[in-house]
Amino acid sequence: MDDLDRNILGLLGADARMSVAVLARRLKVARSTIQARLERLETTGIIAGYTVKLGEAGRQGRLRASVLITIEPRAQAAILTRLKSVAEVERVFTTSGRFDLLLQISAPNTQVLDQVLDEIGAMTGVRSSESLIHLSTKIDRAI
């Protein structure tokens, strides 16, 4: 990846609906150059897809939480398989330190969130969990 690729990604991160023509104009390169770069970024997996980033108004009415879990050795594959079937689990990250996994969860209400937390805590191989409920977003630079 070079500076042009990073600039394309930066512009698309701010507005994924930006057309090839607008990208070319803003970056002062030919449309064919932008099109070729986008195709390469997609085929190499740098761009995995184009999506909508919800603002605060779009996230209203949803409880969000981060859940830190410690698991038994060699239980990760089985736990990840089970977590994939839990619709409220949006993302799972491996971590360093005293926790093994970091989960991002979104639920419509406290009852569902409580059920999901109980389900995760009861999974075979989960030693312990700690949940942190998100209150408000102060900074969001995620692309």
Instruction: Let me know how long the chain is.
Output: 143
Q: Looking at residues 112-133, what average pLDDT do you find?
A: 96
Residue 95 lies in a domain: yes
142, part of any domain: no
Q: Identify whether 143 is part of a domain.
A: no
Tell me the pairing of strands 126-133 and 89-94.
Answer: unpaired
CATH code where residue 80 lies: 3.30.70.920
Q: pLDDT tens across 48-69, in order?
A: 888 776 666 666 668 999 999 9
The continuous run of DSSP H or E covering 25 comes out as: helix 20-27
* Segments forming the whole domain that contains residue 107: 56-133
Does residue 139 belong to any structural domain of this protein?
Answer: no
Neighbours of 32 (CB within 10 A): 10
pTM, full prediction:
0.66
In terms of domains, do 37 and 66 share one? no
Check if the beta carbon of residue 20 is closer than 8 Å to that of residue 35: yes
Q: What local confidence, expressed as pLDDT, does residue 13 receive?
A: 83
The reply to whether 13 and 73 lie within a common domain is no
Question: How many folded domains does the chain comprise?
Answer: 2
